[in-house]
Chain A
Amino acid sequence: MNRAGRSLARIPVEYRGAREARGPLLVVEGVAGVGYDELAGVRLPSGERRRALVLEVRDDLAVVQVLEGTAGIDPATVAVAFEGRPLEVPVGQGWLGRVWDGMGRPLDGGPPMLGADTRPVAGSPLNPAVREVPRDPILTGISVIDALTTLVRGQKLPVFSSAGLPHLELAAQIAAQATAGGDPFKVVVAAMGLTHPDAATLRAALEGRAEAGELALFLDTADDPVVQRVLAPRVALTVAEHLAFDLGQHVLVVLADMTNYCEAVREVSAARGEIPGRRAYPGYLYSDLASLYERCGRVRGCAGSVTQVPVLTMPAGDITHPVPDLTGYITEGQILLSAELHGEGVDPPVDVLGSLSRLMRKGAGEGRTRSDHPAIAAQLVASLAHARQVRDLAELIGEPALTDTDRRYLAFADAFHATLVRQRSDESRSLEDTLGRAWRVAAELPRRELTMLPAEEVAAHYPDGGPGG
C-alpha cells in the first residue's frame, strides 16, 4: 500500500562535530535543510556507524536521538549526515522464524533482513472510514479469557499486572495457543526492556511457534540503549501491518513491557528538557501511546488483521498510574491480574471484575462462539460482583448471619475460581470445555438468581444434577 510521505532524498551533507551530547541526544549546530523526524547517520572516529532521528529543528540546530545511544560518543569528533527520508525497515515473511534485536538486527546468528520493499516505522494513521468492525474471536484456550474477556481479531487488549505476577507467562501462553478458526496465524513479539531471564522464558514458551515459522521475536533487553526501546514496538508493528494488510494474514502482536517503553519515552523527554506532566511523563504520552495502540484492527477489503496484547506492570500496583491509565483509555478493555488471587493460588490470577473485553459483544455469541456465551458470561460476572459484596459483608457480620442465598454466593465464588479460572500454563481448553465449566459454576446458584440468562438458555444448559434451586 502506498503511504504518502516526502522522500526528496538527496546526497547527504556530513556535518563534523556536534555541539553537545545529552542523554540519548545529540545537538548538531550549523545545519541547513534538515527535516523534522528524518533519519541521520552518526559516524564515530572508530568508523562505527549509528543511526539517529531528528526530534526538533530550530534555526541552524538539529536535536537528534541516537538509536544506539550516545555511550562512547565524544560530540566534538562525530560526523552527522542527514538522509532526507524517514527511518524505514524492510518488510516481508523473512522476519518470521527468527530472533531480532529491537531495531531488527539478527540476534540468532542468521543473516540480516534485506528487501527492497520498505516501510517507515512511524506508520501512518489508518483512515477510520475504511476500518472494518472487529467481529471474529481469537481463541486462546485459556478459559477465563475465552469465556469472560474474549479476544477479538483486530482488538487491542492489554494485560495489566503488578511486579511479581505471572503476566509474561500469561502473554506467552496466549501467544503460543491462540488460533483464528483454522486460518494461518502469525505472532510478532516486541519485548522491551526485559531482563535476560524473562526474555529466556518468553523464548522458551514460544519455541513451537518459532519452529513453525509463525513467530517474529524482537528482543530488547534492559541493558539495551533506551532509544531502541522506543523503536522496538514500531518496528514490530510495521512488520505486522505488512503481514496483515498486504499479505492478508492474522497477526497477534505482543508488546511487553509497556511500562519500560513509557520510561524510555520519559527519559528522552527529560533529556530534551520538556515540561513534565503527570509523574514526569511528557504531556504527549497519550498521543504517543495511541500512535502504537491504534496500529491494529481490520481494513475493508483485506483478509488480515492485527490484534495487540500489550503487557504492562502497574508501578506499585496502582491502576491510576499514567501508564495503565492512558493505556486503558486507548485500548479496548483490559485483563487485570491480582496479587491477592495469585497469593491464594489462583493462576492465572485474573481479576474478572476489573477485566473487560469491550469488543466481546461483537466477537462472541451466535455464529461466533456459541449462542449462550454472552449471557452466561454476563451472568457470571454480575453474580461474582454480588458474591464479592457478600464476602465483604460476611467479614463484617460473620458467615452465620448470612441468608441462605448469600451463602450460595460464597460457594459460587469458590467454584468459579477453582473450575473456571485456575488453569495450567501448558493447558489449552476447547471452547466447549470452557463454556461447560461456566454453566457448572452458574449451577452453584439457585435458578431464580440467574436473572441475566434468558429462560430458554437456562432450560438448555443449567445442569440438572446441580444443587438446583
Chain B
Amino acid sequence: MNRAGQGRVVRVNGPLVEVEGLAAAAVAEVVEVGPQHLPGEVVASGEGRVTAQVYEYTGGLRVGDPVVGRGRPLSARLGPGLLGGVFDGLLRPLAGRPHWLGPGALARPPGGAAFHFLPGARAGGDAGVGTLLGTVPTPSGVDHRVLTPPGVAGRLEWVAHEAEVGEDEPVAVVGGRPVAVTEEWPVRTPRPARARLDLSAPLLTGQRVVDLLYPVAKGATAAVPGGFGTGKTVLLQQLVKWCSADVVIFVGCGERGNELADALADLGGLEDPRNGRSLLERTVVIANTSNMPVMAREASIYTGMTVAELYRDMGYDAVLLADSTSRWAEALREFSSRSGQLPAEEGYPAGLASALAAFYERAGRVETLGGAEGSVTAIGAVSPPGGDMTEPVTAHTERFVRCLWSLDRNLAYARHYPAVTWQRSFSRDAGPIGEWHAASGRTAWGRDRERAVALLAEADRLAPMVELVGLQALPDRERVTLLAGRLLREAVLQQSALSPNDASCGPAKQDALLQMVLAVLDRCLQLVAGGVPASVLEEADLSGLTRVRDEVPADDAGGVRERLVQALASLESLAAPEGSRGGSPAAPEGSR
C-alpha cells in the first residue's frame, strides 16, 4: 500500500517539521525528509498540512525541501543478528557507524550478514502462524527460531535445506508467501499472542531486596522511581547481568553514554553462569543517549518492546529494561510543546497516562500463536524531577505496574545500596510467587518474608521513639527489635553491586542470610526474656554477620550458617560470662 506522495517542507523547528502537499498521509506513516532522506514519522495530519517528528538532527533543512511518504508505519527489522548487538533507537546497528554520528537514512545498507539456517519443518503440512520453520543456532544457546510470521498462514510449500542464507533470502514459502529469517514489524503495534497466562514463576534477579521482599514474576512489570544518584541504573544493570531470563533487552533511553560503555564492557567480560558464554550474547542493547536525536529516544522503548516480543514469540523469557522512561515522556513533552499543543499536567501531553499504560500492557506471559509459552517482563526506571514522587510520570506509572521498587535518597546518602525503601515499595505478585517457591521446595520463603517485612516496619515505628526518649528508656524487647532491624538492613538488604562475592546472590544464600538474622532476633529475645540486659547484646560484635555476605560465595549457604553458629555462641558467652547468668532472671549482677 504505497501511497508515496511528494510534499515540501514549510516549517522546521528542531525535530518538528511541517509539510504541505503530502496527499493523504496517515498518522504514524514514515516519511523521508530533505535531500538526506532523514527518517521521520507523521504525528498529525489535517487541512493539507502534515506534522512530522524527525529522527535525526535537522540542521540545514530548508523550507521547500522535498518530503516523501513511505506508505508504511515505523518498523523494526527483526532477525538473528540482534543478540550481542548495539543499536540506536530505530534499531539501526551502531557498530558500523562513524565515531561522530551524523544524520543517517532509515534504509539499512544491504546486510552482508549470512546466517546458518537449519530447517525445522518439512514441506507439505499446514503452517499456521507461529509454526516453527527452522532455526538459526547461536553460540549462546538462544537459537533464533524462524516462525511463520503474523499475517502469513497456509500450506508449507517449501523449506530450504541447511544452508548459509542472507538476511532477506527466503527460507520457506508458506501459503504462497516467502518467509526469510528476518521480518519487519511496526514497532507501535503489539505483536499478537494466543492467550495471556497467569503470573506465578518468579524472575530471579540475584538481588536480595527484590527476590526476598518485592519479587517480580516472569511476565510482570516493575518500575524503579528514584531521584538522581539513588541507584536506578545500577539496579537495572544488575538485572541485565543476573536475572534469570533467556534474553535481555536493555534500552538506554536518553541517558549517559559512559554508562552504556560501562555496561557493554561489563557484559562482555561476564560469564553466563548457565552456559559459560559471555553475557553479552544473550543481550540486545538499544542506545539512544541523551545527546542523540530526541525523537529517536521516543521511539526506542517501542523498538525495545518489539524485540522483546519477538523473543517471547519464540518461546523465550525476555526481559525489557528501560532506563529511563521519564526521558521518553520528556521527549513527548518536548515535541508537543514545539507543536504548540495545549499541555496537560506539567506540560506533558494529555495522552501520557494512556501511552504509559499501553506500554506496560505489552508485557505478559503468554501462550504464543505457535502454542509455546513465552514472556516479556518490563522494568522501567523513572526519574522524577526534584525527586518528587507525585509528578505525573511517577504517579501514573505506579498505577500500572505490578512491582514498585522505590529508591530513597536518604538510604542512598547513607550508602545503603540498593536504596530500595520498604516504606514505599510493593509487589502485587508475592502471594503466587510464594506458592511457587513452596511448590519447588523453598517452603519457608513466604513466612520469612512476612517476618522480615514486619521487623522492618516495627523497627521504623520504634526509631522516632528513640529520638524522643532515648534508647535507654525503651523496654529490652524493643531494643532487641531495633538491633535486629539494623542487622536485617545491613546484613541482608544491603548488597553492593561491586562485591565480587555478593553482586549476585543465589537463592540458598539469600534464605540463609535472612534466616540468620531471624535466628539472632529469636535468640536475643529469649536472652532478654531471661534477664540479660539489651545493652549487653547491643555491645556485641556482630560485624561477622554483616560481613559474611561479602565473604562467602554467591551460593554458599553453609558459610552463612557457620557464621550464625559463631555469633550465637558469642551472644551466649556475653550473656553469661562465667556461666552463672543461666536462665535465672533474678540472678543479681553481683553474684558473679
Where the two chains meet, the residues of A that have a C-beta atom closer than 8 Å to any C-beta of B are 1-6, 8, 32-38, 55-60, 84, 86, 122-134, 154-155, 245, 274-275, 277-278, 282-284, 286-287, 290-291, 294-295, 297, 299, 320-322, 325-326, 328-330, 332-334, 353-354, 356, 358-359, 361-362, 374, 378, 381-382, 385-386, 392-393, 396-397, 401, 403, 405, 448-451, 455
Contacts and interface: CB of A to CB of B under 8 A. Distances in A.
9 contacts: A56-B12, A125-B292, A131-B260, A132-B261, A283-B333, A287-B254, A287-B294, A321-B386, A403-B538
Nearest to B409: A354
Given A58-B10, A134-B258, A283-B330, A37 B60 contact: yes
Interface in B328-347: 330, 333-334, 337-338, 340, 343, 346-347
A154 B261 CA distance: 12
B334 A283 contact: yes
A339 B215 CA distance: 42
B481 interface: no
Interface stretch (B39-47, B512-520, B541-549, B552-560): B541-549
Given A378-B415, A448-B543, 16 more contacts: A32-B63, A57-B12, A58-B10, A86-B60, A124-B57, A128-B261, A128-B287, A129-B95, A132-B261, A134-B258, A275-B337, A325-B228, A396-B467, A401-B470, A449-B543, A451-B547
Interface string B367-411: 000000000000000010111100000000000000000000000
B226 to A, nearest CB: 11
B258 A332 contact: yes
Contacts of A36: 12-14, 58-62
Contacts of A397: 467-470
Contact of B229 (A297, A334, A381): A334
Interface string B450-473: 000000000000000011111110
Interface string B491-509: 0000000100000000000
Interface in B29-77: 35-36, 57-64
Contacts of A333: 229
Contacts of A123: 100
Contacts of A284: 14, 294, 334, 337-338
Contacts of B385: 278, 320, 322, 325-326
A155 B291 contact: no
B59 A332 contact: no
B11 A294 contact: no
Nearest to B233: A358
B59 A451 contact: no
Given A124-B100, A286-B290, A385-B414, A277 B229 contact: no
B229 A3 contact: no
Nearest to B466: A393
Given A129-B95, A129-B287, A291-B291, A382 B102 contact: no
Given A6-B60, A35-B60, A287-B294, A274 B337 contact: yes
A401 B466 CA distance: 11
Contact of B490 (A56, A396, A450, A451): A451
Contact of B102 (A124, A322, A378): A124
Interface in B286-311: 287, 289-294
Nearest to B264: A129
B12 A1 contact: no
A131 B59 contact: no
Contacts, number: 229
Contacts of A127: 94, 97-101
A287 B334 contact: yes
Contacts of B228: 325, 328-329
A332 B229 CA distance: 8
B103 interface: yes
Given A3-B100, A5-B102, A38-B59, A133 B289 contact: no
When A and B form their complex, which 7 residue pairs have the shortest distance between CB atoms, in order from nearest? Answer: A4-B102, A320-B386, A290-B290, A294-B291, A131-B261, A385-B414, A37-B59
Interface in B154-189: none
A284 B347 CA distance: 11
B467 A393 contact: yes
B323 to A, nearest CB: 11
Contacts of B541: 448
B290 A133 contact: no
Interface in B223-262: 227-229, 252, 254, 256-258, 260-262
Nearest to A319: B386
Contacts of A359: 258
B61 A35 contact: yes
B470 A125 contact: no
Contacts of B254: 286-287, 290
B565 interface: no
B425 to A, nearest CB: 21
B295 to A, nearest CB: 10
B347 A275 contact: yes
Nearest to B63: A57
Contact of B64 (A33, A124, A129, A405): A33
A8 to B, nearest CB: 8
Interface core residue of A60, A122, A325, A386 (most chain B CB under 10 Å): A325
A84 B59 CA distance: 10
Given A294-B257, A451-B490, A5 B229 contact: no
Contact of B290 (A283, A294, A361, A362): A294
A2 B469 CA distance: 69
A5 B59 contact: yes
A38 B59 CA distance: 7
A256 to B, nearest CB: 20
Contacts of A58: 10-13, 18, 63
A4 B413 contact: no
Contacts of A155: 258
Interface core residue of A245, A291, A358 (most chain B CB under 10 Å): A358
A133 B388 contact: no
Interface in B71-123: 86, 94-95, 97-103
Contacts of A378: 415
Nearest to B62: A35
B258 A3 contact: no
Nearest to A4: B102
A332 B498 contact: no
A197 B505 CA distance: 56
A450 to B, nearest CB: 8
A290 B347 contact: no
A124 B257 CA distance: 13
A299 B289 contact: no
